[in-house]
Amino acid sequence: MENVIQIKNLEKKYDDFTLKNINLDIPKGVIMGFIGKNGAGKTTTIKIILDIIKKYSGEVKIFGCSEVEDKEKLKEDIGVVLDDMFFPELLTANDINAIMKSIFKKWDEKLFYSYLKNFDLPRNKQIKTFSEGMHKKLEIITALSHHPKLLILDEPTTGLDPIARREVLDLFQEFMQNEENTIFLSTHITTDLEKIADYITFIDNGEILFTKPCRELLEDWAIVKCKSKDLEKIAIEDRIRYIKEKYDVEVLISNKKEFKKKYDFGVIDKITLEELMLLIIKGVKEC
């Protein structure tokens, strides 16, 4: 399978934080969700991919290109929404259209104005009058309106109400109808990823813990709730993490069918990505 993004042995050191040996392949035609707590390294990784952060060790390729000069030629094929990206507040949507027409050869004015209409965004009002949600919608439709092949998105649905988030997710799925397209999506709203992601990459404290199919995580992984005295009955290799309360314990497992065959105690509950994050970050890991 062709990889759109390839990261090999990436390291970036700061005084108080280090990205450690990041290796990640993102295949063409998938939505890769990127999760982790604040400060885990998600935004740093994305900014290195986009050459916003330049000094690092390791190799980053987009569409097979690693040199900065080659990546510059790829801007037509990449749409970007960053959490800290803002349009100048005195501009209007009409101004954005005019600017983007001069930047992108494939800029689609008709599509842009269609998106504006669908999202009820005004053409002539200054962006400083927009709500946070309106800002975010404008960033998203701008990223989509030059027909990119790759979307790199950092918290794209922050500030959107549930209806607008659903509309944006539908837009992403429509984008993915072209099997040549790919999305790399970092977000704290893990319920969004549960709806649309093909794969999940989990990063914590600057290290990638795993990349797994989203369906596998939601269907095979689970939480076992049992009495504290029963924890030791579960083999160490069968428990990924656990959180112990006063009398009960929650155990993260990766194969609920096999667990049911081996053990006759505990309540097995489905897991959400949010619960999985909590258990991995806060839970006890045994070697």
Query: What is the model's pLDDT at position 246?
Result: 80
Of the candidates 229, 253, 227, 220, the one whose C-alpha atom is nearest the C-alpha of residue 239 is 253
Query: What is the model's pLDDT at position 24?
Result: 97
Sheet holding 199-204, edge to edge: 78-81, 150-154, 182-186, 31-35, 199-204, 207-213
Angle CA(62)–CA(276)–CA(158) in degrees, nearest 5? 60
Q: Where are the beta strands (DSSP E) in 36-168?
A: 57-62, 78-81, 150-154
Residue 115 in tokens: 């998106």
DSSP, collapsed to helix, strand or coil, labels residue 228 as helix
pTM strictly above 0.75: yes
Q: Report residue 35: phi and psi, to 5°.
A: -125, 160
- Summarised one tens digit per residue, pLDDT across range 221-251 is 999 999 999 999 999 999 999 999 888 999 9
Question: pLDDT grade, residue 68 (50/70/90)?
Answer: low
Q: What angle separates helix 132-144 from helix 93-103, to the nearest 10 degrees?
A: 30
- CB count, 10 Å around CB of 247? 8
